[in-house]
């Protein structure tokens, strides 16, 4: 049920309608507030990534943001832009500007982008307001791009200045990339209507100041207070990250059975942490840190406590006071820098494996002495990694390839890229990994990388027709009731059948006086099998029905190359496969003498898929360079890679239409 109630606003949801601002509200005030912020309001189009099935998949989404500095710094949500590969921002005047991700903080769900410089100079920007001055009932405006539409404004009132997720329905998961957003954020609840696409947009007071960043909906709309969002954004702009202190302890609200109103109940102490070294234990009542009282009686007091701890100077000793068994004790404690839970996976395309580095806390939880190795995030069932025996699983930690130790994900990729090379096929790949207390060696024999069997087929005699079985019902309709055989449905260009004068609609009844017995759909291969019994070059006499019985002589040719035998090229940068055209392709698509290559497969979530390339398209040119065959295509793509072309434009034939497909390039990911 909870999954239906709560949504970050880049996914479909149904929202409660916003209440109208009191009728006495000054229209002029509203217009001034809108005028102050709307020029800085932006829509963000994101080409983001996620990792599954052993590969990196791209997807498109949209959110909102607000420019907060004239240099073009934009504040939005981490769940909007934190995993972006490409960012295109639409300004209030509808112009589009590319942007770069400056930094992101999943703990508070804040990201900062920077717009590329523009000839017009500085960007319009909005000013921050003081969210601590908001009171319940204050009018507010929610601004953004709902459903990826143009920038819009709704109005409402502040409903709650310290909103937390209730425990009434059980634990509500507000985690982003391993971080509990609710542990640091007290949301501003309001009833201004917001929709998917509003994520990252500003909540504005009637002074025209940004007092929050809209994030989610849970009955009420929820915004991250501006005082927190601004602090995080300033850190990201200055350093690209947020530095926080950590004591290695967790607290919860005081239990009613304790019969007290002051202090915070220590619920967890991390092994080896500063708190553990200072002697704190679960069950202690924390009274103060550095002379500041630590009172956590209600859930709403947990985020401020966590924020206070995070703000302590890293490495600077402070005194903590705590109570145990009715006695007050004191200890010195030196905060350490809090480790980020955000670890970006690494896709190893060559073997179909996604891995990521271990964090110190993960290594500690596993009882490991260090964080070396690469943790398996996902495996492609059809890739080299998927063929390893025993099979790799999510959570396994790869520690060696053959006799080479692996310290991290990047090193694993480098070793595998050097080991698994086409010219080294076949080879035996051995990976050592840890699973719980076990250390296992997994092995696979690698025959080829692309998994394609291009071995040549034996050539057989070939007539060059497509047919349908002359079932009794069809024979009756055609006026040849009782006859058996095949009706010609297509004649291949340049084939023996075409040279012999066979036409669509002819009925083939016998081959060299041997009657054909086909009368059921399952007899569909009889004619083909009969022809294959002859030698290539043999002359056969076909008895056909064309407005009466006739005899046609045909000299059989060699069967054309099958699609399986054709040369292929897999473009790993854009994730699609092409092959040469067959005679059947040319006839089926009525290509005539058109030169090009056929798109055989487009991986979902790849750059080609985002550009709307489709299987079955015939590629005619690459950035204006004509493509005649696989060799030409491979060279054209290599040229674009060497030039680091920002866009690769394919002219394609789709059905009877010609069109241009524009693919954005990410050469930095090339391996």
Residues tagged active-site: 79, 109, 199
HSE-up (13 A, CA, CB side) for residue 295: 5
What CA–CA distance (Å, rounded) separates 92 from 125? 11
CA 256-258-264 angle, to 5 degrees, is: 90
CB-based contact 96:88 (threshold 8 Å): yes
Whole-angstrom distance, CA of residue 161 vs CA of residue 131: 9
Residue with the two structure tokens 């070396």: 372
Strand partners, 439: 434
Residues 6+ apart with CB under 8 A from 419: 401, 402, 427, 429
Please report which helix (H) or strand (E) contains residue 503, including its range.
none
Pairwise CA distance, residues 374 & 346, whole Å: 10
Name the 3-class secondary structure at 626: strand
Both tokens assigned to 460:
């057989």
- Please count the other Cβ atoms lying within 10 Å of the Cβ belonging to residue 117: 12
DSSP state of 124: P
Structure tokens, 357: 């580095």
CA distance 460 to 354: 44
Please say whether the beta carbons of 143 and 204 come within 8 A: yes
User: CA distances (Å), 425 to each of 388, 451, 571, 609, in order?
Assistant: 16, 12, 20, 30
C-alpha–C-alpha distance, residues 614 and 625, integer Å: 20
- Tell whether omega for the bond before 505 is within 30 degrees of 0, i.e. cis: no
DSSP secondary structure, 21-40, as one string: PPTTS-HHHHHHHHHHHGGG
Residues 6+ apart with CB under 8 A from 553: 500, 539, 540, 541, 542
Question: Rounded to whole angstroms, what are the CA distances from 428 to 210, 232, 259?
Answer: 60, 49, 67
CB of 198 closer than 8 Å to CB of 182: no
Q: Look at residues 253, 252, 106, 129 and name the one whose alpha carbon lies nearest to residue 180.
A: 106
Question: Exposed (0-12), middle (13-18) or buried (19+): which is 337, by Cβ within 10 Å?
Answer: exposed
Helix (H) / strand (E) containing 228: helix 226-239
Pairing mode of beta strands 127-128, 209-218: parallel
Q: Are 618 and 581 in contact (CB under 8 A)?
A: yes
For the four alpha carbons of 419, 421, 423 and 429, in that order, the dihedral sign comes to positive
What does each C-alpha distance from 386 to 53, 374, 379, 643, 649 come to in angstroms? 10, 16, 6, 34, 34
C-beta neighbour count of 523 within 10 angstroms: 17
Let me know how long the chain is.
Answer: 671
């Amino acid at each position: 049920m909870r999954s239906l109630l709560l949504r970050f606003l880049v996914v479909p949801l149904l929202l409660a309608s916003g209440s109208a601002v009191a009728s006495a509200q000054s229209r002029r005030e509203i217009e001034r507030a809108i005028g102050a912020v709307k020029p800085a309001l932006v829509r963000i189009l994101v080409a983001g990534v996620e990792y599954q099935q052993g590969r990196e998949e791209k997807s498109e989404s949209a959110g909102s943001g607000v420019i907060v500095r004239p240099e073009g710094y934009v504040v939005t949500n981490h769940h909007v832009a934190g995993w972006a590969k490409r960012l295109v921002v639409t300004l209030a005047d509808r112009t589009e500007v590319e942007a770069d991700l400056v930094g992101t903080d999943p703990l508070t769900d804040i990201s900062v982008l920077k717009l590329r410089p523009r000839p017009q100079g500085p960007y319009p920007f909005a000013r921050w307001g003081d969210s601590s001055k908001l009171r319940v009932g204050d009018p507010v405006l929610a601004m953004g791009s709902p459903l990826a539409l143009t920038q819009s404004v709704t109005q409402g009132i502040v409903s709650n200045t310290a909103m937390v997720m209730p425990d009434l329905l059980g634990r509500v998961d507000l985690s982003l990339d391993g971080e509990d957003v609710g542990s640091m954020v007290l949301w501003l609840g309001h009833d201004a209507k917001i929709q998917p696409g509003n994520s990252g947009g500003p909540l504005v007071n009637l002074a025209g100041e940004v007092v929050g960043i809209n994030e989610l909906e849970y009955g009420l709309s929820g915004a991250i207070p501006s005082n927190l969002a601004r602090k995080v954004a300033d850190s990201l702009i200055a350093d690209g990250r947020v530095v926080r202190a950590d004591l290695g302890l967790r607290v919860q609200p005081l239990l009613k059975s304790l019969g007290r109103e002051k202090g915070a109940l220590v619920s967890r102490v991390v092994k080896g942490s500063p708190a553990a070294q200072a002697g704190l234990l679960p069950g202690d009542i924390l009274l103060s840190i550095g002379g500041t009282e630590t009172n956590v009686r209600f859930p709403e007091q947990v985020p401020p406590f966590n924020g206070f701890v995070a703000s302590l100077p890293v490495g600077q000793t402070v005194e903590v006071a705590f109570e145990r068994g009715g006695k007050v004790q004191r200890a010195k404690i030196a905060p350490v820098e809090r480790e980020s839970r955000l670890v970006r996976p690494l896709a190893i395309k060559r073997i179909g494996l996604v891995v990521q580095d271990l964090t110190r806390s993960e290594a500690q939880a596993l009882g490991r002495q260090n964080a070396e190795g690469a943790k398996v995030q996902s495996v492609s069932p059809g890739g080299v990694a998927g063929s390893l025996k025993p099979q790799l699983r999510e959570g396994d930690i790869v520690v060696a390839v053959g006799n080479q130790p692996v310290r991290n994900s990047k090193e694993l990729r480098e070793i595998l890229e050097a080991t698994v090379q086409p010219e080294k096929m076949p080879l035996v790949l051995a990976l050592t990994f840890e699973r719980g207390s076990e250390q296992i060696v997994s092995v696979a024999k690698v025959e080829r990388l692309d998994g394609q069997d291009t071995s040549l087929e034996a050539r057989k005699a070939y007539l060059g027709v497509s047919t349908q079985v002359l079932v009794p019902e069809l024979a009756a309709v055609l006026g040849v009731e009782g006859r058996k055989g095949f009706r010609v449905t297509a004649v291949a260009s340049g084939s023996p059948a075409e040279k012999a004068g066979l036409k669509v609609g002819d009925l083939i009844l016998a081959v060299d006086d041997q009657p054909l017995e086909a009368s059921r759909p399952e007899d569909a291969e009889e004619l083909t099998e009969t022809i294959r019994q002859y030698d290539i070059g043999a002359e056969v006499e076909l008895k056909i029905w064309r407005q009466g019985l006739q005899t046609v002589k045909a000299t059989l040719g060699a069967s054309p190359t099958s699609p399986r035998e054709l040369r292929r090229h897999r473009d790993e940068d854009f994730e699609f496969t092409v092959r040469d055209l067959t005679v059947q392709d040319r006839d089926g698509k009525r290509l005539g003498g058109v030169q090009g290559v056929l798109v055989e497969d487009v991986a979902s979530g790849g750059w080609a898929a985002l550009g709307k390339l489709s299987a079955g398209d015939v590629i005619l040119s690459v950035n204006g360079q004509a493509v005649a065959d696989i060799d030409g295509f491979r060279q054209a793509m290599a040229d674009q890679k060497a030039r680091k072309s920002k866009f690769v434009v394919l002219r394609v034939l789709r059905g009877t239409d010609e069109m241009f497909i524009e693919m954005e390039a990410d050469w930095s990911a090339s391996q």
